[in-house]
Amino acid sequence: MEQEEIGQNTEQNIGHIEQGKRTGPLFERFPVKMPVKMPLKMPSARRWKKLFYVFISSALAVIIILAVGFGIVWYNRAAIFSYFAKEYLKGGESLLKNQNGQSGEENSAPAADNMFSQESFVIKAVKQASPAVVSIVLTKDVPKYVMVPNQDNNQTNPFGSMFPGFPDFFFNTPQYKQEGTQKQEIGSGSGFFVSSDGLIVTNKHVVDQKGVDYTVFTNDGKKHPAKVVAIDPILDIALVKIDESTPTLPTVPAGADKTKPPFAVSHGYPYLSLGNSDELQVGQTVIAIGNALGQFNNTVSVGVVSGLARNITAGDAATGTQETLDQVIQTDAAINPGNSGGPLLDLSGKVIGVDVALAQGSQNVGFALPINSVRSAIESVQKTGKIIRPFLGIRYVPVTSDLAEQNGLSVDYGALVKGDSSQNKLAVIPGSPADKAGIVENDIILEIDGQKIDQDHTLASIISQKTVGQIITLNIMHKGEKKTLKVTLENAPANLGQ
């Protein structure tokens, strides 16, 4: 048998190996049976049809999946675009940080400019803010005169005896008489809503006249009677409120979220949200909106923050009054007469300042009150119905090196207690906390609670951070000698700025 032969040959071969002999082959070749080749068959027509259906159904499934995916992406395109934009900006911030060694927050603006145009930000901010910006018009009853005929036919020579030797010229002199009164516009300004119930922020010098009527014109052209509810005794700020039981809702742009500022109109008027003026940087883009020249409501101007913490003296040509403004924002955004009280916005549409003054005889030099100094007045009115401010009760001039040299002062910092004789304003207000503590004119207040008074830390800014009833420690220079006084701050009287 073949099997037995194989076994025998194997044993023989193994035996040869064990004995170390190589006398025979290790293995015999085995016969291999080759597979029988089957003839190839072509697929039938039914099989082709089945393959076609599978292909078509697979293609349709892919198309449906792609369509659904595209629909989801399109529906969420805003969120997706925002995500990639933020990632792009993060990359730009990281790159700038590596290149300049500065934080990404400080360089986010250039990165944003690369991704988006400044124009689109401005347009969006203006659309958001415009419905909440208003014009405030002052009207007053003035006498109405009419000309009546000269019934006595009395003729007079208007030249008198100025030209002797010349014949006299006689004319009928017109006569007038008062015939009742008429409403006449005597002033205007700007403002903006800060709450849905119609509370408006504006400047004190816009609404400080007595015996006048105030009318608020909203962006949609509708007018509403208004009344002054509070005047800030320290800052050039006043709060006005729509004086009607059922407000007429201004027009809101399509697509705006009416449940959030600046379009929170579910309970009344659209109002602006407040930003953080402490985070402003020189060179940052800002937008001013207001009633320019009292004729062109919601006029928009764009500029940059030109300077911070400016101290200026603003005057009113109509009344001849002057006021010292501390820590104000300087901007080259055009602030025209009539813009007073309007908002200064950042590119997100938030209020970072209240337009207050412009430099006469200059181009594009305007000033705004930082919104952080106004915020407490708004909150105070909303809680108590009036503005509560801590009050020391002095008028002063900031001491500088030039002032010290000109007046022979022994120090070049502090606040020199000084009145204004031209306007009959005393240096120390009678009955004020300063008066009770014994401060007199020509004293120099050097420090408040250990904080040195200088250009960066003015007396007004330090006092504004205190509270009514708080006891503060003053270091003063009195007749060449240093003294320490304890003063209890009181609430500023409402007529302080009048």
What is the set of active-site residues? Answer: 205, 236, 340
The amino acid that residue 464 corresponds to is: S
Instruction: Please state whether the peptide bond connecting residue 262 to the residue before it is cis, i.e. omega within 30 degrees of 0.
Output: yes
DSSP 335-392: --TT-TT-EEE-TTS-EEEEEEEE-TTSSS-EEEEEHHHHHHHHHHHHHHSS---EE-
CA distances from residue 151 to 144, 156, 164, 450 in whole angstroms, order as listed: 21, 14, 30, 79
Tokens standing for 29?
A: 């070749």
Q: Give the CA count within 13 Å in the CB-facing half-sphere of 336.
A: 16
CA-only gyration radius of the chain, Å:
42
The pair of three-digit structure tokens given for residue 102, joined into one six-digit string: 């500065």
Q: Which residues contact 328 (CB under 8 A, 6 or more apart)?
A: 309, 310, 311, 312, 356, 357, 367, 368, 369, 370
Tokens 């509270």, located at residue = 467
- CA atoms within 13 A of residue 427's CA, in its CB half-sphere: 15
Q: What is each CA distance from 125 to 128, 280, 284, 292, 443, in whole angstroms?
A: 5, 17, 15, 19, 48
Number of helices (H) and strands (E), helices first, in the chain?
9, 22
HSE toward the beta carbon, residue 214, CA cutoff 13 A: 25
Contacts of 58 (CB under 8 A, 6+ apart): none
What's the number of CA atoms in the CB half-sphere (13 Å) around residue 373?
23
* Alpha carbon separation from 178 to 55, 132, 142, 212, 377 (Å, rounded): 98, 41, 10, 20, 44
Cα–Cα distance measured from residue 276 to residue 246, given in angstroms and rounded to the nearest whole number = 32
For residue 182, report the phi and psi dihedrals to the nearest 5 degrees.
-145, 150
Rounded Cα–Cα distance for residues 108 and 112 (Å): 6
Helix (H, G, I), strand (E, B) or coil at 78: helix
End-to-end alpha-carbon separation of the chain, Å? 135
Buried b (16+ CB within 10 A) or exposed e, 199-220: bbbbbbbbbbeeebebbbbbbe
202 φ/ψ angles, rounded to the nearest 5 degrees: -150, -175
